[in-house]
Amino acid sequence: MSSRQYFDAVAHQWEKMRQAFFSEAVREKAISVADVKPGKLAADIGAGTGFITEGLIQRGLRVITVDQSEAMLREMKHKFQDIDTVDYRVGEAENLPIEDKVVDYVFANMCLHHVENPPVAIKEMARILKPSGRLVVTDLDEHNFEFLKTEHRDRWLGFKREEVKRWFIEAGLKEVMVECVGENCCSQSSCGDEYATVSIFVASGEK
């Protein structure tokens, strides 16, 4: 099963799964690091059912959401059916369906460890930012829980913070910081003999 097929299959239960994996504190940290302002335009990459987007809408931003899974986007569309400030686009993080230099902020929460080529995805996210725009990526620190690959189609077992920092700098971003969110991502393996607890980092940079 590909990553897209996996997320298509779990789309209707993702909200519940997400609540077990990680909390709203991750979203609050990402949004506070970006220092968002109402009326601005953000992109949410690997948006899923709109976890980050929801926080941005609440703060008066317009959002372009991108996800490889049509089923995840459909769930989000249903959730935000009365809101007209969200644009839904099916697409790949490594080849974003967004023009150059159009958004003020880019967010990607728990998407990077699923993409085939993380540094290319980060370059794409930097490409769509306006000058002075901010990229904020929240994802997993490096870990050893192999079952996350087989059970949840994770492609990477998290990342070294130094490596993420280098990718941001290579994408032309400045004021790059990678720090601890102070929250963990938690998951029980389906056979019940392993329990993953992985710390979450927030990486940010300015164009």
Give the three-state DSSP class for 94.
coil
According to the binding rule CB under 6 A, does residue 129 interact with ligand SAM? no
CB 140 within 8 A of CB 198: yes
Chosen residue from 29, 48, 134, 148 binding ligand SAM by CB under 6 A? 48
Chosen residue from 29, 34, 46, 164 binding ligand SAM by CB under 6 A? 46
**Cβ neighbours, 10 Å, residue 199:** 15
Give the three-state DSSP class for 77.
helix
According to the binding rule CB under 6 A, does residue 173 interact with ligand SAM? no
Which amino acid is it at 176?
V
According to the binding rule CB under 6 A, does residue 18 interact with ligand SAM? yes
- Nearest residue to ligand SAM by CB is 48
Which residue reads 């085939």 in tokens? 116
According to the binding rule CB under 6 A, does residue 47 interact with ligand SAM? yes
According to the binding rule CB under 6 A, does residue 67 interact with ligand SAM? yes
CB 133 within 8 A of CB 106: yes
Q: Maximum distance among all alpha carbons in the chain?
A: 48
Interface with ligand SAM (CB under 6 A), residue total 19
Q: Would you tell me which residues interact with ligand SAM (CB under 6 A)?
A: 3, 7, 18, 46-48, 51-52, 67-69, 72, 92-93, 109-111, 114-115
